[in-house]
Every structure is written in C-alpha cells, then in structure tokens.
Amino acid sequence: MTLTFPDHTTETAPAEAAPTLKRVAAAFGGTLPTAVARMAEAPQLLDAFLTTSRLFQGSTLTTLEQEVLILTVAVRNGCDVCIEMHAATLRRLGHADLEPALRADLPLDDARLAALQRFTHDVMDHTGAVPDALQNAFAAAGFTPRQALEVVLGVGAYTLSTYANRLTGA
C-alpha cells in the first residue's frame, strides 16, 4: 500500500501545524505551497524545515550563495519542486545565467560560486568529514570556517526539504 499525503489546509492540518500554515499562507498571498501543505502532516517536520531554512537565510552566505547551495542540494537529491522554486528565485535575483549549469550539475564559471558548489558536494559526499585538502580549497576561495558550518546547515535544511518533498510527491 502506498502512503498518501494530503494537501492540508489550515482547517484540515493537525492542530499543531495550523498556526504555522496560517503564517505561511499569509506570506504567500493566501495560498499554501504544496510542499508546505503536505509537510504539515508532520508538524514537527514542518517546523524543523521552516526553522532551519530561516536560520540558513540569516547566515553570512549571500542570498546568491544560498541559492547556489540550495539548487546544488535540490539537483543532487532530484527534488523537482525545489529546483523549480529556487531556479525562479535565481532568476528574480538576476542570475538566470547560472541556472543551466546548476540544473546540469556542472561547475559554475564564477570561481567563488564554483567552490561553494563543490564544497556542498564535498559535505554530502563525505557526510561532513571533508578531507583537509577539500576544506583548504573552500578556504582558498575566501570562505571562512563559519561559512563551512553554514554550508552544513544549508545541506541539512534542504536535505530535509528535498527528502520530504520527494516522499510526499510535492
């Protein structure tokens, strides 16, 4: 038997998720993204994702760097809805030129962004135990130890999201 994940509303969601859904709907002009509506089945998951993504947004990585990381994770994990949402953000930021390479998981032309993309893969490939030489390459591109840990935060937040979205079919 295949699990079915409902597209919750503020009325159908578990009681713990209703206030969160109301806030998200307000932020999205009264509509709920399907991914959020389905994550609401597990209120703790929804809160964990929204909290970690909010914390990641407050990191020292630029908005563009954050989007490069998110798209790298989304492409790696095959989350179509994440790819579409964050590709649209990339276009809004005026960086549509990066989209084809990110979608194809090809190295970016910008050296700093390419180092971030590579390090994001390194964190996932090595489950955090990134070898010194790869850490040094990230640092050589101008990134700090704090930002290396912020990459871990971003990978965690968006792995959570991509896995949930793929499981629920969002």
Q: Where residue 40 falls among pLDDT bands split at 50, 70, 90?
A: very high
Q: pLDDT per residue over 3-14, tens digit each?
A: 999 999 999 999
Structural contact between residues 120 and 148, judged by C-beta atoms closer than 8 angstroms: no
Using a pLDDT cut of 70, give the percent of the chain over it: 100
User: Which CATH architecture fits 63-168?
Assistant: Up-down Bundle (1.20)
Does the reported pTM lie above 0.85? yes
| Model confidence at 70: pLDDT above 90 | yes
Per domain, the residue ranges of the chain are 63-168
| Helix or strand run (H / E) with residue 150 | helix 145-168
| Model confidence at 147: pLDDT above 90 | yes
Structural contact between residues 59 and 69, judged by C-beta atoms closer than 8 angstroms: no
> Following DSSP, what letter does each residue of 34-91 receive, concatenated?
HHHHHHTTSHHHHHHHHHHHHHHHTSSS-HHHHHHHHHHHHHHHT-HHHHHHHHHHHH
Q: What pLDDT score does 1 carry? A: 81
Residue whose token pair is 């964990």: 48
